[in-house]
Amino acid sequence: MAKRTNKKETFAKVMIPRPLRGFFTYSVPDEMQNGVVPGKRVLVSFGPRKAIGLVAEITHHAEVKNIKPIIQVIDDAPVVAPSVLKLAVWAAEHYFEPPGEFLPLIVPRDKIEVDTVVAIHEDLTEKPETRSKAALEIYDLLEKKGGERRLSLLSADLGKTQKDLGKILSGVTLKKFFITRQVARRVASRGNTRPYSLATSQKYEPVTLTDDQQKAVDTITPYIESKKFKVNLIHGVTGSGKTEIYASLAKKTLAIGKSVIFLAPEIALADAMSRRLERRLNIKPVVIHSDMTPKEREKRLSVISSGEAKIVVGARSAVFAPLEDLGLIVVDEEHDGSYKQDTSPRYNGRDVAIKRGAMENIPVVLGAATPSLESYYHALAGKYNLLELKHRIDGRSMPEVMLVKPDKDWEIGEKLHSAIKTCLEKKEQILLFINRRGLARHIQCSLCGYTFECRNCSLSLVFHMNSKTLSCHTCGYEEPAPTVCPDCASTDLWMGGGGSEKVEREIADMFPNARVARMDKDTTVKKRSSAKILESVENREVDILIGTQMVTKGHDFPGITLVGAINADNTLHIPDFRASERTFQLITQAGGRAGRGDSAGRVIIQTLSAGHHSVESAVKHDFKAFYAAEAPLRKAVGYPPYVRLAVIRIDAVSENKGEHFISRARRILGRIESESPDIYILGPVEAVVFKVRNRYHWRVLIKAKNHSTLSWGVRRFFGETDELSYAERGGVVVHCDMDPASVM
């Protein structure tokens, strides 16, 4: 309980690693006044148990009652740099996400999980009937082992000396600490770790910049040298050499003793970017992303925070890399939707990068062949510098693009078939892009019309030939592929809507001697499997690469001269405000994979929407034409970049419980809308996929002129719904998706 004293009382706002919105306030005991500092970890009571939290801020007022004191300060010095902490706090508030969800991005996970670090004997000395299950389990485990070992294992894990631990133990009258099984195992297996080495490469490749490239470098360099925030959008057609600009800017940044963060939309591209930068700069970047063991990640982060690493390359989470002398952030393929994480914490790596640039007063570079409408809009408005690269390097021409109608019976139409044939004869490589996986998207009984749907979701099951299953791409449900209709026992099952497996099968029939690789979610589950496929293409062990959108992203395939986009327009009919934008990007990016080597490229697009502006402008490689057609449509309907958007996702166990909550939500939303003339609310409406994993989904779109108004509206909504009791809410879960990548 907080005591009233004459002196101003001190409180700490703490980030707790739980999915709960908001910070938690604790009082700072007198003897800890000097020890409690933002960025340090503290041990605190959390409900009936303990938690490790991170101090975000020191304040002198608290809005909640029943404030508990901090039990113990864990660290001697902050474990998170002030700039990174500030950024995470900003992100939590901006995206309405639990601050604790950002903790694993800025602190090694095992350093904040109290459950796997310590369980406290207090539990066991209290009334036996209130002992927690976890404590009992640990007690049983450890009673059988030696007592002294516990302290040394614990000290190893917390990185503390046994003397320090003794102090913690006596200071809070804790009689014993215990360690769980996992930690004991992890600590026991801890071997000697070799320091991460920043080996330099031997194959340094200096380059001469083109005039356009040089101009971009000259424009951005002053911002680096004078430490000034500015967003610079580099709009360069595919193959125009954006990487050379990045490398050149990185060099300038390193020259003044500063460091650089590079972001790429996905792990494979981050790796590729790292290799290219290493060749240009003679320095090995440190690559970080979420798909590494906690130990490896921690090792690399410690190299970064020590100041040893000057260049960090990674996927979106690398935007929180603990570089203290940052001089530049580069976001490659800035338009890519995967910068927005679709699970909590829902943040956009590109936008957080821009915020970090603003906070640290350094320039940010966004690069893209197909900029997002948002970024281009800001560039036209003069808010961002716009730098254009209109030509491919080395005078390579843009690929010739041809539109053809899809064939009724085959995925590979006649034109595409003959182009593939010619290519194979010339020993050139081919890329076939199809935007869905599996063999058939729909299966229906030809006799009675029975359709196969997922039992957990409102979606049809996809037929996969290799595994001989029907599978749901949303929840993962699988059942054996049918041979007869379960309703009428007819064996005449119609399969429609081909995917990557169908294309693979047709290719095998049409060109039995061609060496074929398929790259989609099904063939890349294993670690490094996508890298292996890409290597085999690079080594010319593959003639035809078939893949879903993962093959269109930024990869450099010098041997590919023909790109075929099969049913390129099926993204066009997705009910989402970004459908056109995404179609334009996909076609342009897929086409951009052609002719990156010495031979000219050719692209064949099978589409029924030849007249649509996103297809038409992609054919001409004309982003400006696309923007000119798309922007007014967005403006007319009120979508980004003309308004700020948030999607409220409502998720219920049953339709009834959902409907009940929806009627309350509707009243609350109506009030919010009437209170501000600048807020527009659409919905709640059923989500496009209403039922997912046996839960029912609704969406509310909230639009506003600017972020602060939007933020006010969302805060008002949560303010009222959070007040409702569990029973009133009916177990309905509500999430906010701020600045969403899609409204589905």
Partner DNA sequence: AGCACGCCGACT
Partner DNA sequence: GTCGGCGTGCTC
Site residues (CB under 7 A) for DNA? Answer: 18-20, 22-26, 44-49, 64, 66-68, 115, 130, 132-134, 725-727, 731
Q: Is 475 helix (H, G, I), strand (E, B) or coil?
A: coil
Instruction: Give the residue with the Cβ less far from DNA, 343 or 674.
Output: 343
Q: How far apart, in whole angstroms, are the C-alpha atoms of residue 552 and residue 434?
A: 10
Q: How far is the CB of 25 from DNA (least distance, A)?
A: 4
Instruction: Give the residue with the Cβ less far from DNA, 34 or 725.
Output: 725
Residue of 255, 379, 270, 352 whose CA lies nearest to 310: 255
Q: How far is the CB of 46 from DNA (least distance, A)?
A: 4
The residues that bridge with 11 in the sheet, in sequence order, are 27, 59
Q: What is the DSSP letter of 208?
A: P
Q: How far apart, in whole angstroms, are the C-alpha atoms of residue 497 and residue 499?
A: 7
Q: How far apart, in whole angstroms, are the C-alpha atoms of residue 592 and residue 239?
A: 7
Instruction: Give the residue with the Cβ less far from DNA, 135 or 233.
Output: 135
Instruction: Give the residue with the Cβ less far from DNA, 347 or 626.
Output: 347
Sequence letter at residue 459 = L
Instruction: Give the residue with the Cβ less far from DNA, 45 or 529.
Output: 45
Q: How far is the CB of 17 from DNA (least distance, A)?
A: 9
Residue of 348, 289, 296 whose CA lies nearest to 313: 289
E runs forming strands in 354-449: 363-368, 385-389, 400-404, 429-434, 440-445
Instruction: Give the residue with the Cβ less far from DNA, 525 or 727.
Output: 727
Backbone angles phi, psi at 379, to 5 degrees: -65, -45
Q: Which residue has the tokens 């990156």?
A: 596
Instruction: Give the residue with the Cβ less far from DNA, 476 or 496.
Output: 476
Instruction: Give the residue with the Cβ less far from DNA, 134 or 141.
Output: 134
Q: How far is the CB of 387 from DNA (least distance, A)?
A: 43
Contact assessment for residue 178 and residue 138, using Cβ atoms and an 8 Å cutoff: yes
Instruction: Give the residue with the Cβ less far from DNA, 279 or 693.
Output: 693
- Would you report the helix, strand and coil content of the chain in percent, each value rounded to 5? 40, 25, 40
Q: How far is the CB of 64 from DNA (least distance, A)?
A: 4
Q: How far apart, in whole angstroms, are the C-alpha atoms of residue 317 and residue 304?
A: 14
Q: How far is the CB of 62 from DNA (least distance, A)?
A: 7
Q: How far is the CB of 24 from DNA (least distance, A)?
A: 4
Q: How far is the CB of 128 from DNA (least distance, A)?
A: 12
Q: How far apart, in whole angstroms, are the C-alpha atoms of residue 337 and residue 265?
A: 8
The residues that bridge with 737 in the sheet, in sequence order, are 647
Q: How far is the CB of 297 from DNA (least distance, A)?
A: 19
In this structure, the dihedral spanned by the alpha carbons of residues 534, 535, 536 and 537, taken in order and rounded to 10 degrees, is: 50
Instruction: Give the residue with the Cβ less far from DNA, 18 or 660.
Output: 18
Q: How far is the CB of 136 from DNA (least distance, A)?
A: 9
- Where on the phi/psi map is residue 354: left (φ > 0), alpha (ψ -120 to 50), or beta? alpha
Q: Which long-range contacts (CB under 8 A, 24 or more apart) does 158-164 make?
A: 158/74, 158/111, 158/117
